[in-house]
Amino acid sequence: MLPVPHCPRCERFVFLDALRCPACDAELGYNIVLGRFFEVDPAGARVDGVAWFSCSNRSWGCNWLVREDAPSGRCFSCRLTRRRPDADDTIALEKLASTEEAKRRMLLQLRDLGLPVRPWDQYEGGLGFDLISSLSSGERVVIGHAGGIITIDLAESLDDRREALRIRLGEPYRTMLGHLRHEIGHYFQSVLLTTEAMWESCRALFGDERASYQDALERHYATGAPPGWQATYISEYATMHPWEDFAETFAHYLHITGTLQTAGMIGIEFEAGERNLRAADVVLLQDYNGVSIGRILDDWAELAQAFNRINRSMGLRDLYPFEIVDRVRLKLGFIHDLVERARIPLAEQVAIGLPPRPAADGGAPR
């Protein structure tokens, strides 16, 4: 469980992307191993005898810290970025900064769930990110995953463009964090399903992934989701192919557990009573690791309904515009079991990847 992000000087809450404390102006850096903020110190913030420095991409908004003995000046997150826009493409680099922020949030959640992240530059088929822009590079960029590498089109971080696509594709929800959580689902399907028996149980729920992807793609864009898809799938896109069903469901697992945990840390509780039509209190947990999927989804139903109501009272779209039917509960349960079984201790996660050495600040992100 991660502590609530707060300023080490004045103890006030700060958002995960903070570079400075808005209350006391302390310069802040985030230590992913301990999951908390430190004051940035040019001599390095010392943690257990090791100095941690700012990531060399700090001037591009990265607030993570880097161990002194790391192989480069980049933090764990920045190191996973294999390709990025050219140094002179400042417009694309701005989009990169907001995408990197969503990526750090996701990586932090994976660390909290105890999922193994093996970097592409150290492991064959390891995780890496190509964060490039179809607008400036002129190349065709297709969001997707292949062999551990996740490709993201930075043009999707432009609100008008992403919103136009969302409407054209009839999607109720489209965000950069959502893209990242979907693509990481593809990555973890190949990493976490290690035996034929696991693949068989996966197929029983999601369908046979050996079906032609190309045929599925053409069919989906020609005719759309089949009528009645809501009884089986979390989204229309999930109907396209078993790979996509798994990735969509995995993304929802991350949406649900991540958001519930935030709500639990805020201390949200729902009281029983006649006035609110609730028979028993619902107290959200600060840590959902090791909790049954039934409890997770029951708590989520309360929270999602509450925040959909709150959003509507502000004239906004629903926070969670999806319905979780029984069949989807089973699929989420399958993913929950996979995650629970794959959990590795933090010490081992640190051994897998975390280092990076300090380097001079400034210049384009690397």
Shortest distance (Å) from residue 294 CB to Zn ion: 38
Distance (Å) of CA 324 to CA 22, 23, 124, 295, 305:
38, 40, 36, 14, 12
Contact predicate 54/40, CB 8 Å: yes
CB 365 within 8 Å of CB 93: yes
The minimum distance between CB 100 and Zn ion, in angstroms, equals 7
Q: Is residue 139 within 8 Å of residue 119, measured between CB atoms? A: no
Q: Quick one: which of 177, 141, 203, 360 has its CA closest to 262?
A: 177
Phi, psi angle pair for 122, to nearest 5°: -120, -25
* In the complex, minimum distance from the CB of residue 249 to Zn ion, in angstroms, rounded to a whole number: 30
**Least distance in angstroms from the C-beta of 127 to Zn ion:** 15
Residue with smaller CB distance to Zn ion, 27 or 318: 27
Q: How far is the CB of 144 from Zn ion (least distance, A)?
A: 24
Length of the chain measured in residues: 366
Q: Which is nearer to Zn ion, 7 or 238 (CB)?
A: 7
27 phi/psi in degrees, rounded to 5:
-85, 130
- Sheet strands (E) in 68-205: 81-83, 128-132, 144-146, 149-153
- Return the number of the residue (75 or 339) whose C-beta is nearest Zn ion: 75
- DSSP code per residue over 232-259: T-SSSGGGS-HHHHHHHHHHHHHHHHHH
Contacts with Zn ion, residue ranges (CB under 5 A): 7, 9-10, 21, 23-24, 26, 55, 57, 62, 64, 75, 78
Q: 12 vs 341, which CB is nearer to Zn ion? A: 12
Q: How far is the CB of 36 from Zn ion (least distance, A)?
A: 13
Q: Cβ atoms within 10 A of the Cβ of 15, count? A: 8
Comparison of 104 and 181: residue with beta carbon closer to Zn ion? 104
Minimum CB distance to Zn ion smaller for 64 or for 243 = 64
Shortest spacing between CB 239 and Zn ion, in angstroms: 37
By C-beta, is 21 or 303 nearer to Zn ion? 21
What beta strand segments (E) does 22-117 contain? 28-31, 36-39, 45-47, 50-54, 65-67, 81-83
Q: Does the CA dihedral 28-348-99-13 come out positive or negative?
A: negative
